[in-house]
Structure 1
Amino acid sequence: MSHIDKEQQSNCCSEEQYNANETTNSCCSGDNRDQINDTSSCCSTAENTRIVQEEYKEVDDEQNVVEYNIRGMDCPSCAVTIEKGLRKTDGIQTVQVNYGTGKMAVGAEDPSIYSTIPKQVRKLGFEAAPVHSNISKETYKIEGMDCGSCAKTIENHLSKNPNVHTVRVNFSTGNMQIEHAINSKDIVKEVRKAGFGAGLVSSEPNNKQADDKKMVLGSATTLSGIFLALGVIASFANLVPSLPMVLYGISILIGGFKPARSAFYAIKSRSLDMNVLMASAAIGAAFIGEWFEGAMVVWLFALGNTLQSRSIERTRDSIRSLMNLTPSEATVKSGNQLIRKAVKEVEINDIIIVKPGEKIPLDGEILTGISSVNQAPITGESLPVEKQLGDTVYAGTVNENGSMEIKVTKLVEDTTIAKIIHLVEEAQEQRAPTQAYVDRFASVYTPIVFVLALSVMVFPPLFGFGTWGGWLYKGLALLVVACPCALVISTPVAIVSAIGNAAKRGVLIKGGTFLEKAGVIQAIAFDKTGTLTEGKPKVTEVITLNENRDELIAIARTIEEYSTHPIAKAITTYAKERDIPAKNGEAFQAIAGKGAQATIDGVQYFAGSPKLFREMDVSLEQIEEQIHALQGTGNTMIVIGTHKNILGIIAVADTIRDITVNSIKTLKEVGMNEMVMLTGDNEETATKIANDIGIDRYFAELLPEDKVSAIKKLQSEGKRVAMVGDGINDAPALATADLGIAMGGAGTDTAMETADIVLMADNLEKLPHTIRLSRRALSIIKQNIWFSVVTKLAALILIFPGFLTLWMAVLSDTGAALIVILNSMRLLRQK
């Protein structure tokens, strides 16, 4: 096993740049890591930033300038693209784009030009929003969508409004993300004009109104079905010749009112959605005298939509159980009184009382009391966790026994459960690569089949092949088949279901892209300390040469007291437990990846790895045997000495987590090809731990920056690599890997923000489930796509021989969509 050469490390994402990228929209972010070349650096320099800032100042002095935030830039050349594109616009005098800060300054003669800037930037492939403006970014719940094309209708309609800057509607979640500069009530009115309902997600949900709408839709479907049945009975009875036609007509009017209304707004918004196609088919059927066919089309379509809506609602509400976890009120201690308050009114540092059996309303720190807390809603842990004085507790978890006084540390909107819900909702909104591909296919497929349907209606009878009525009927059937509803929802519904399932089990998957990546990972690299091991090493052996034992420990404590490294903490804890005080030291200094030093009584002392002393040409001959013996049993060696002499050695060992061995074994069982360990330990220690755990391969004696090189080496071997770490020290490696997985997200905000997937509990037991879930999601997505495509092809083939009737075409479309939804919902139940 070899030490990774540091020279292999890319200069694009140093740790400092990585941390800066979180606020500068840099190309080194996780979404764009695949675009980064190994040897190129796309991070803008401080000098470039200074020059652009000076240019901003000069522009501000000359004229009125409006500043915009720019999203979507991958590298500095994107900034040049925007500048060149906007300079062509009449009236714009100056444009300065700063890639490093993600900002743009525009100077123009006419102030009215500024309102058009966001749309012009959008045409160039980016997003722009004024830094100081009255623009609101809100999320609305949309009601009445039947399929993905309905979402396009709403987007097209709202995009025409000059006060709407960006709008995105996600059919799977039923949410609309919109940036606008008008009243929220006007947004609701605009959505209503497009034929749908809308309400702010942040406001209290109007369940009664939603239930009323469902009841109306259900009643319309039922009435339409009743009149259809009466029409069939009347046609067999043959009492009044025109009665069946009248009954079918009533059935069409009742069941087709909503689709016709939606079709009107879709045409108005220049969107060719399912409602347009179905309404055209029903009207065409009535026009050629096929009243039964028209009524059957409308009723099957209404029935299919009703069933789809109820099924998709279960998927959309996959995280509602999380949202309902936290109580609405808390018992606040005020002096000697206990007051019930809404959680929104509770402030940081307030003292709340939580009795046995109650849910904890807010994140906080225990002041008094000992109890077991069920943290399953946050971490997915099956067993309660013992909590005592000073421990952190989370909103939504359950206090099982013992009363506790808790000091509130986070407001209701900042709690861990609130962040989880926010991250899951954001993840469900993001489009996966497969979904983007399917959407592009559908956008081409529908117009082609629509044109084909019109051609079938007109050209064959025009040239004397068959009757107008016969070809018109086939053309109408083609119109129905032109709707790719099942195909469009084949991917997003599966992704929403999988992400919701994972969230309820303590795993945050940041989006469909990362869900898909997790399903194709071939190797997993683990940071050793704190991931495979407890991360709390203990001193196991102290060997002295020239000094007495207490003197050696005192020197070691003095050197290590100012370090936060786990090994340093182990040594200082060991000294404190034995009441061995530190000496008076000065000139403390850390030696990256090797140890630390301090000056005591005018003498420079070192505490570090044997490698540190070898580099200083200090002989280790006296202790070489002991070092090898202790390293062979999994100990990490800390040598204490000066520039000339060795004083002694302290052996420290980190215990392997109980869950680690079983997790590694399970990952191998699910087909993971290679398990890799990254550690700063020496070869002997790394070998011992790797053998004990069942690791296939390891990289030893790594400095922190070498982890990035190790990941790149694995990738250069053609493997798709996931990196598992704590999300703080391992940030660059997490970003470099194809998939970054952070552990212990419940206690670390950085972990939740850094990684692509977050295991909320501080152990690996959820990782095999995540891999299984991802692979099953990919499998179900493929099943859905193939089923949708084969169904469409079969329908297209059966139309021309005359085997496929109009109502069968509708059944194939709505039925396929319903089957796709139900198939995707299986992911909600995976354990």
Structure 2
Amino acid sequence: MKGPSVTEPVKTRYRVGGMDCAACAAKIETAVSRIPGVSEVGASFTAGTLNVVHDAVPFAAIQRAVKSLGYSLAPDGAAAPAATDRHDHAIHDHRDGDEHAGGESHFQLGDGPWWKTRKAVLTLACGLALIAAYLIGRVLPEIGHWAFLAALLVGLVPVARRAVAGTMSGTPFSIETLMTIASVGAVIIGATEEAATVVLLFLVGELLEGVAASRARASIKGLADLVPKTALLVEGDKTSEVPAAGLALNAIIMVRPGDRIPADGDIVEGQSAIDESPVTGESVPKTKRVGDQVFAGTINTDTVLKVRVTATASDNTIARVVRLVEEAQESKAPTARFIDRFSTYYTPGVLVAGALVAVVPPLLLSGSWDEWIYKGLAILLIGCPCALVISTPAAIAAALSAGARRGLLLKGGAVLEGLRAITMVALDKTGTLTEGKPQVTDIVGIGRSESKVLSLAAALEIGSSHPLAVAVLARAKTDKAAVPPAASAKAIAGKGVSGKVGGEEVFLASPGAAAERATITPELQATIDGFNDAGKTVSVLVVGGEIAGIFAIRDEPREDALAGITALKAAGIGIVMLTGDNERTARAIGSTLGIDVHAGLLPEDKQRIVRELQAQGQVVAKVGDGINDAPALAAADIGIAMGGGTDVALETADAAVLHGRVLDIAEMIELSKATMGNIWQNIAVSLGLKAIFLATTIIGVTGLWPAILADTGATVLVTLNAMRLLAWRPGRK
């Protein structure tokens, strides 16, 4: 007999409108987690997303829970609709989360300017009402109290509604609750003018915070906007303008001088300087030729190019960056998780503290009830955890965005925090420290010019895809060496390639194979040995039975490899090379760069060495680009994939250096340190201001409106400080 079928939980991603603070996210998480069938919920205000793991829960049920808080919900891929009116009017504390929800649609990517949002309209209405109340109070003092009460209600009613909705959905200790209690209490003791001022300041703070949060999202949207909306599709002799999003793989597109490249692809015709600064931050254009890869969003500066599309719009470099950054923003950093747990107890603690301050002195010390109730209400406002709660996620989101713009992808706040603790970097050689493409480094002509020797060798290699052949042909192209036609060219397995060029029998082979056809003198052998000792592969050109030339070929270090190594050493970080290449070649590269080398390694050997380093107390970052690096990348404390690497490496790694610069590894660690410094500044500001105003309130120096001004001010300061990371640049000279 068959048992009942078990439905596998599914994970669904949604876009949320109006969620622009950590408190908003927490409120939504709590409400959705209470829906039957939901097993896991994760909301990210920085990415504007909601991830729900559930057992076939209808979209309508989740939407209903989110909408009840004043936020909007749409399936991922659809634009987040405007938040509900109800939410907008809320004054909520984004911290708490709901208010923003409200009409924060304007803060959603692609929506209208902030001053047209309902939140901005509400703030303006409350401000005008307060000004009107002040003027009425001056002209008709007898009704001034009622005028201020009306001004208060303009802003407080939405806040109170948000407080009730939060309580009903499982979040009773929200900023709206604190604000409502403090405002009502102030009215009861006759401080109506101050209560109205407090509400206005609160709304202004919320508005500013929403604007700041939108800047972080706009940073990523700006990256996506680098890709043009249309492309020039080449079909035979015809060229037509088509939507870039619809380009198919292997389609041929034309890119004119001055145009942005609309898709990732390989150049099939033309040569031009490509300005990659919008994506990489590098100001110097790179010359790209036939066969070279170009990225969507970069700018063709010189001549017309034809490019074969290698990635669809949803999978090009820019799209992958945006996707990875959004996913990273959805994961909480350790510091953020700690602060979330802390706030769970902190806010109820503030309520208790406010109550004790209001009640204990009058009961036990014969204090004035009005005076101490007033102070207790001020403490409720001082204790709002807004600035503290947003201190970490705002900084993390800004740093992830800034890193992405420089091609530094980090898969979450935990990775960003962890990088600052790295003490050892283990680097692969081929494709990581080196270009991954063998180059002809030396040509020795014997009885013939170097140019003639190069021409003969290139003639034999035409049409071959062997890495050494590619290196010879690339050198011939760079040196503009003539490449004559070869007859009867053929590969000789395990030895080399032979053929006739200009009537002469030509043979390009390894030194051992060449020695079978010609005599290698001791002087030539010494030259060959010297190249081998330098980690170079040697090919010998034999023409008519005599040695005519020698080629030395090696996969050279990346242009910035030495600078990158130097930057890591300057930061006090140890470096080691882990490579499967032979000992002699690896040590030659290691000697050039000044680093220790472990060569001839299998994938499991690399993983073993990483674990040995960790056992010695090192915090290890492993950097690699190939499938054989995947086990070590997974074992390391932080795995970093080089940009040109395989999908396996990119999926296994915790971070990626998209543009393959060794210097970027040091920059990534520098970004981590800058971010953590920013976070601790934010925490110090938020807690420091609270401590100061707590003391001044107790001794009677400050009251309600200075208290909320301090809280709002701290929130704005913390957010603006975090947003400074959007403009982060590496500090190297």
Above 0.5 in TM-score? yes
Displacement of 1:326:
1.6
2:244 maps to a residue whose letter is: V
CA distance in 2, matches of 1:567, 1:780: 49
Would you say the 8 A contact 1:497–1:824 is kept in 2? yes
Alignment partner of 1:724: what SS? strand
The residue that corresponds to 2:696 in the other structure is 798
Displacement of 1:490:
0.8
% identical aligned pairs: 39
The residue that corresponds to 1:96 in the other structure is none
Would you say the 8 A contact 1:354–1:404 is kept in 2? yes
Which deviations, in whole Å up to 9, do the C-alpha atoms of 1:396-439 show, x marking residues without a partner? 22222322333333322222221111111101111011111111
CA distance in 2, matches of 1:794, 1:484: 15
CA distance in 2, matches of 1:322, 1:431: 23
The residue that corresponds to 1:339 in the other structure is 240
CA distance in 1, matches of 2:208, 2:276: 36
The residue that corresponds to 1:116 in the other structure is none
Which deviations, in whole Å up to 9, do the C-alpha atoms of 1:47-93 show, x marking residues without a partner? xxxxxxxxxxxxxx63333252xxxxxxxxxxxxxxxxxxxxxxxxx
CA distance in 1, matches of 2:183, 2:212: 25
Aligned partner (choices 401, 408, 414) of residue 315 of structure 2: 414
The residue that corresponds to 1:252 in the other structure is 152
The residue that corresponds to 2:545 in the other structure is none
Task: Tell whether 2:163 aligns with 1:223.
Answer: no
Q: Pairwise CA RMSD of aligned residues?
A: 3.8
CA distance in 2, matches of 1:517, 1:493: 17
CA 1:329 to 1:654, structure 2 compared with 1: closer, same or farther past 3 Å? closer
The residue that corresponds to 2:6 in the other structure is 66
Which deviations, in whole Å up to 9, do the C-alpha atoms of 1:207-266 show, x marking residues without a partner? 77654885432233233234434545565x4x5333321222122112223322221211
Aligned partner (choices 157, 163, 176) of residue 31 of structure 2: 157
Which deviations, in whole Å up to 9, do the C-alpha atoms of 1:352-379 show, x marking residues without a partner? 3332222222233334333333333444
CA 1:532 to 1:335, structure 2 compared with 1: closer, same or farther past 3 Å? closer
The residue that corresponds to 1:729 in the other structure is 628
CA distance in 2, matches of 1:462, 1:655: 81
Would you say the 8 A contact 1:439–1:488 is kept in 2? yes
Would you say the 8 A contact 1:379–1:759 is kept in 2? no
- 1:405-554 map, 5 Å: 405-463=306-364, 465-537=366-438
CA 1:826 to 1:344, structure 2 compared with 1: closer, same or farther past 3 Å? closer
Which deviations, in whole Å up to 9, do the C-alpha atoms of 1:653-687 show, x marking residues without a partner? 33222211222223333x13322222445666555
2:225 maps to a residue whose letter is: N
- 1:27-38 map, 5 Å: none
Would you say the 8 A contact 1:711–1:737 is kept in 2? yes
The residue that corresponds to 2:490 in the other structure is 581
CA distance in 2, matches of 1:346, 1:357: 20
Would you say the 8 A contact 1:525–1:676 is kept in 2? yes
Displacement of 1:584:
6.0
CA 1:405 to 1:564, structure 2 compared with 1: closer, same or farther past 3 Å? closer
Displacement of 1:291:
0.8
CA distance in 2, matches of 1:738, 1:627: 42
Task: Tell whether 2:74 aligns with 1:172.
Answer: no
CA 1:405 to 1:683, structure 2 compared with 1: closer, same or farther past 3 Å? closer
Task: Output the TM-score relative to the length of structure 2.
Answer: 0.78
Would you say the 8 A contact 1:636–1:681 is kept in 2? no
Would you say the 8 A contact 2:63–2:73 is kept in 1? yes
2:5 maps to a residue whose letter is: V
The residue that corresponds to 2:659 in the other structure is 761
Which deviations, in whole Å up to 9, do the C-alpha atoms of 1:512-536 show, x marking residues without a partner? 1111121121222221222222333
Aligned partner (choices 713, 718, 736) of residue 612 of structure 2: 713
CA 1:276 to 1:761, structure 2 compared with 1: closer, same or farther past 3 Å? same
The residue that corresponds to 1:740 in the other structure is 639
Which deviations, in whole Å up to 9, do the C-alpha atoms of 1:436-462 show, x marking residues without a partner? 111111111111221222333344434
CA distance in 2, matches of 1:584, 1:675: 39
CA 1:580 to 1:139, structure 2 compared with 1: closer, same or farther past 3 Å? same
Displacement of 1:781:
0.8
CA 1:360 to 1:539, structure 2 compared with 1: closer, same or farther past 3 Å? closer
Task: Output the TM-score relative to the length of structure 1.
Answer: 0.70
CA distance in 1, matches of 2:615, 2:468: 33
CA distance in 2, matches of 1:64, 1:225: 61
Aligned partner (choices 236, 251, 270) of residue 170 of structure 2: 270
Alignment partner of 1:537: what SS? strand
CA 1:306 to 1:608, structure 2 compared with 1: closer, same or farther past 3 Å? farther
- 1:567-716 map, 5 Å: 581-583=490-492, 629-635=530-536, 653-669=554-570, 671-680=571-580, 686-695=586-595, 697-716=596-615
Task: Tell whether 2:257 aligns with 1:356.
Answer: yes
1:159 maps to a residue whose letter is: S
Runs of 5+ unmatched residues, structure 2: 82-104, 445-463, 476-482, 496-509, 513-523, 541-549
Alignment partner of 1:242: what SS? helix
Would you say the 8 A contact 1:380–1:761 is kept in 2? no
Displacement of 1:740:
1.3
The residue that corresponds to 2:303 in the other structure is 402
Would you say the 8 A contact 2:14–2:49 is kept in 1? yes
Which deviations, in whole Å up to 9, do the C-alpha atoms of 1:473-532 show, x marking residues without a partner? 222122223321111111111111111001111111111111112112122222122222
CA 1:201 to 1:211, structure 2 compared with 1: closer, same or farther past 3 Å? farther
The residue that corresponds to 1:646 in the other structure is none
The residue that corresponds to 2:67 in the other structure is 192
1:216 maps to a residue whose letter is: R
CA 1:810 to 1:141, structure 2 compared with 1: closer, same or farther past 3 Å? same
CA distance in 2, matches of 1:565, 1:781: 51
Displacement of 1:690:
3.0
Alignment partner of 1:285: what SS? helix
Would you say the 8 A contact 1:143–1:198 is kept in 2? no
Alignment partner of 2:575: what SS? strand
Bigger shift: residues 180-189 or 508-517: 180-189
The residue that corresponds to 1:18 in the other structure is none
CA 1:149 to 1:741, structure 2 compared with 1: closer, same or farther past 3 Å? same
Alignment partner of 1:730: what SS? helix
CA distance in 2, matches of 1:139, 1:740: 29
Displacement of 1:630:
4.6
Task: Tell whether 2:57 aligns with 1:143.
Answer: no
Displacement of 1:633:
3.4
Alignment partner of 1:768: what SS? helix
Alignment partner of 1:535: what SS? strand
Bigger shift: residues 159-168 or 297-306: 159-168
Which deviations, in whole Å up to 9, do the C-alpha atoms of 1:765-794 show, x marking residues without a partner? 323322221111011111111222222233
CA 1:432 to 1:291, structure 2 compared with 1: closer, same or farther past 3 Å? same
CA distance in 2, matches of 1:823, 1:801: 30
CA 1:520 to 1:580, structure 2 compared with 1: closer, same or farther past 3 Å? farther
Displacement of 1:391:
3.5
Alignment partner of 2:713: what SS? helix
Runs of 5+ unmatched residues, structure 1: 1-60, 69-128, 131-135, 544-562, 587-606, 610-622, 640-648
Which deviations, in whole Å up to 9, do the C-alpha atoms of 1:166-210 show, x marking residues without a partner? 432223333323356466566444422212334455224667765
Alignment partner of 2:606: what SS? helix
CA distance in 1, matches of 2:391, 2:327: 19
2:637 maps to a residue whose letter is: D
CA distance in 2, matches of 1:197, 1:725: 42
Displacement of 1:820:
0.7
